[in-house]
Amino acid sequence: MRMRNLVASLGVAALALTAVACGKDEPAGGGGTGDSAASDTCGDLHKFTTASGVDVAGSATFTKIKSRGTPVVGVKADQPNLGYKDADGKRCGFDIEVARMVAANLGFDPDKIEYKEIPSANRETAIAGGEIDYYVGTYSITDKRKKLVSFAGPYFIAGQDLLVRKSDTSMDAGKTALKGKKVCSATGSTPIQRVKDENLTEASNISEFKTYSECVSQLLDKKVDAVTTDDAILKGYAATAPDELRVVGKPFSEEKYGIGLPLADKALRDKVNSILETSASDGTWKELYDATLGKSGSDSTPPPLEKY
């Protein structure tokens, strides 16, 4: 039968492919044909000293982490310089450093954090359902979300902006120029909700994907005209492909990034807030920023906390 030949040839192809893959197998990091690959790998992370003898009285989440031994942290994996996982499987970026800082100060080895990638739309449910202990991933503090989860922070202030193809100047005016343009953002994210609420472009021009990377890919393929979200995220992409992309630079919102925690756990929120407070005063925050987002050239300072 003809079918058998096809299957056989497929098998051969698969074998050949594995052979190629194995043939090129090299120790981690040692591989890579060129400079482009080298620039992708995450550099050294900040060294934190793991606190000892920490106890957060009355925190159910802390007790849970304690019995497990390691915290489970929700993060993003596709945001260069913020929450990123490189080809080597290493994670780095400002959000990752903040997550590590919190873990270290809670008395857990930051190198042993179990990371979970949670899409924007599922964040509240993942925190409320206990799938993760806390979430650090460009998570804007909003009143609506405060009803579902609790927030420590903010630890960073960003603003919604536009990422466009480098040669496209038609949206330099900022959000008012979006009418008639195809806009993309992550499903269920605040930025796309703002575009809808303020009617910045027609409903049929809005695209939503699971991740910002997928939007950026569509932007480069000219399937959409702009990717909108917080400038911090966009700068990470623009810095990676400066010849093809740029950020418009007219932010039209203020996003306060907080650390998402289970709603009922006030004890843990207070503890995390005090960790953030210390990092702002002892210079750790600045060190973390300069090593990650600061590379984009823009300066920043730790924002005031909003305790509640």
Partner 1 sequence: MSVVLYDVPGPRAKARNRILNAVVMVALLAVIGWVLYRLNESGQFESRRWAQFQYSSIQQQLLDGLLNTLKAAGLAAVLALLFGAVFAAARISDHWWFRAPATLVVELFRAIPLLILMFFFYYGNLQFDLGIGPFWAVVFGLTLYNGSVLAEIFRAGIAAVPKGQREAAYATGMRKNQVVRLILLPQAITSMLPAIVSQLVVLLKDTALGFIITYAELLYVAKQMGGRLQYGFPYIPTYIVVAVIYIGLCSLLSVLARWLEGRSRRRRKVTGAPPPSAAEAATSVEAPL
Partner 2 sequence: MLSVLTDNWELFVDGFWTTLRLFLIAGVLSLALGTVLAAFRVSPVPALRAIGTGYVNTLRNTPLTLVFAFLVFGAPKMEISLPTFFWSAVVALTVYTSAFVCEIVRSGVNTVPPGQAEAARSVGMTFMQVLGIVVLPQAFRAIVPPLTSVMIALLKNTTIAAGFSVAEAGAIPAVMAERGENQVATLVWITVGFLILIIPLVFLQRWAERRTAVA
Q: Verify binding: residue 117, partner 1, rule CB under 8 A.
A: yes
Edge-to-edge strands, sheet with 91-92: 78-79, 83-85, 91-92
Contacts of 145 (CB under 8 A, 6+ apart): 124, 151, 260
State the Cα–Cα distance between residues 155 and 271, nearest whole angstrom. Answer: 14
Q: Verify binding: residue 103, partner 1, rule CB under 8 A.
A: no
Count Cβ atoms within 10 A of the Cβ of residue 178 and give its class: 0-12 exposed, 13-18 middle, 19 or more buried.
Answer: buried
- Looking at the Cβ atoms of 10 and 173, the one nearer to partner 1 is 10
Candidate list 50, 63, 70, 122; residue touching partner 1; CB under 8 A: 122
Calculate the dihedral angle through the C-alpha atoms of 53, 55, 60, 64, rounding to the nearest 10 degrees.
0
Calculate the dihedral angle through the C-alpha atoms of 142, 54, 42, 93, rounding to the nearest 10 degrees.
20
Instruction: Tell the residue number behind the tokens 């492909």, with chain if given.
Output: 241
Site string for partner 1, 63-102 (x = CB under 8 A): --------------xx-x----x-xxx-------------
State the Cα–Cα distance between residues 73 and 211, nearest whole angstrom. Answer: 18
Shortest reach from residue 2's CB to partner 2, in Å = 5
Shortest reach from residue 233's CB to partner 2, in Å = 18
Q: Verify binding: residue 249, partner 2, rule CB under 8 A.
A: no
Q: Verify binding: residue 237, partner 1, rule CB under 8 A.
A: yes
Cis geometry, peptide bond prior to residue 71 (ω within 30 degrees of 0): no
Q: Which does 63 bind (CB under 5 to 8 A by kind): partner 1, partner 2, none?
A: none
3-state secondary structure of 220: helix
Closest C-alpha to 289, from 139, 77, 88, 96? 96
Q: Verify binding: residue 208, partner 1, rule CB under 8 A.
A: no
CA distances from 46 to 136, 291, 299 (A): 16, 9, 19
| Identity of residue 30 | G
Shortest reach from residue 78's CB to partner 1, in Å = 6
Calculate the dihedral angle through the C-alpha atoms of 297, 155, 135, 228, rounding to the nearest 10 degrees.
-50
Residues 177-206 touching partner 2, rule: CB under 8 A, are 184, 187-188, 193
| Identity of residue 14 | A
- Looking at the Cβ atoms of 24 and 144, the one nearer to partner 1 is 24
Q: Verify binding: residue 36, partner 1, rule CB under 8 A.
A: yes
Q: Verify binding: residue 37, partner 1, rule CB under 8 A.
A: yes
- Looking at the Cβ atoms of 13 and 28, the one nearer to partner 2 is 13
- The contact set with partner 2 (CB under 8 A) reads 2-3, 6-7, 121-122, 124-125, 144, 147-148, 184, 187-188, 193, 207-210, 214, 217-218, 221-223
Q: Which residues bind partner 1 (CB under 8 A)?
A: 4, 6-7, 10-11, 13-14, 17, 21, 24-29, 31-34, 36-37, 39-40, 77-78, 80, 85, 87-89, 116-119, 122, 125-126, 128-131, 210-211, 213-214, 216-217, 220, 237, 240-241
